[in-house]
Amino acid sequence: MTVNGGVAARLRHKVVDAPGSLGARMRAERWSLVKRSFPDMAGLSVLDLGGTVEAWVRAPVRPAQVTVLNLFEPGVSEVDWLRPVTGDACRARAELEAAGAPLSYDVVFSNSLLEHVGGHAQRVALAAEVHALASRHWVQTPYRYFPLEPHWLFPGLQFLPMGVRARLAASWPLAHSRPESSAEAMSEVQWTELVGVAELRAYFPTSRIHRERVAGVTKSLVAIGSDVDPGLTG
């Protein structure tokens, strides 16, 4: 079995990507919560840390302006309301200033980035950028203690020794992508560090923490700094 074909690829697509899949339903619920948290979104400027142009083109939410800051591939925009910037989200203000982009926004949005920035010190830096760039925010990250590690769809992968994680990442057929070498597999697991509620509260102490659940079990966490109470699940 391979990631790009065969049984494993079909299974991952069915669980994560296909219309009506668990992943698709959770993404729809997440956007619904975004709308409830920021009902005036259509008139707001948004900074997306770690996102892509493509994701916003497909999103059911359309802010007035979106700037996407991504370290590797923010994408290419063909519309005037959506601006990509290549840069490090943990140095967002410096990167935006260098690109001639605004340094103040209505909302900072970040989806599944916090766990990939490179440890506690970098997460502190990211949170500082979020707080400095907007008075409101939405920061989502997978929950460390959900039984199924979300990037590789392997039970309990996040709790295994690093060497074991790297070997599994190199060969596990349900992974999001197949690394080209053992060194790349090690790099991927080293750059993926899930957090729990206590850590997220420490980074965003005044935010409301929402728990996204599957069958009653917390799958992801969202730190929401908003003037509106969207009816959160704590």
Q: pLDDT digit string (tens) for 24-62?
A: 788 899 999 999 999 999 999 999 999 999 999 999 999
Residue 123 lies in a domain: yes
Residue 6 lies in a domain: no
Residue 176 lies in a domain: no
- What CATH number corresponds to the domain at position 61? 3.40.50.150
- Average pLDDT for the chain: 92
CB crowding 37-50: b at 16 or more within 10 Å, else e: bbeebeebbbbbbb
Q: How many contiguous H segments (helices) and E segments (strands) does the chain have? A: 8, 9
200: which 2 tokens? Answer: 């997220």
Residue 159 lies in a domain: no
Residue 114: burial class (beta carbons within 10 Å; 0-12, 13-18, 19+): buried
Residue 173 lies in a domain: no
Residue pair 24/18 in contact (Cβ under 8 Å)? The answer is: yes
pTM, rounded to two decimals: 0.90
Per the structure, how many domains does the chain have? 1
What's the pLDDT score for residue 25? 83
Which carries the bigger pLDDT value, residue 159 or residue 177? 159
- What's the pLDDT tens digit per position in 182-233? 999 999 999 999 999 999 999 999 999 999 999 999 999 999 999 887 766 5
Residue 163 lies in a domain: no
Per-residue pLDDT band for 8 (boundaries 50, 70, 90) equals low
178: which 2 tokens? Answer: 């197949």
Residue 24 lies in a domain: no
- What's the pLDDT tens digit per position in 134-144? 999 999 999 99
Residue 68 lies in a domain: yes
Lowest mean pLDDT among 2-6, 152-156, 181-185: 2-6
Range of the domain at 65: 30-151+195-225
- What's the pLDDT tens digit per position in 113-136? 999 999 999 999 999 999 999 999
What's the pLDDT score for residue 7? 60
- How many angstroms separate the CA atoms of 160 and 166, rounded? 10
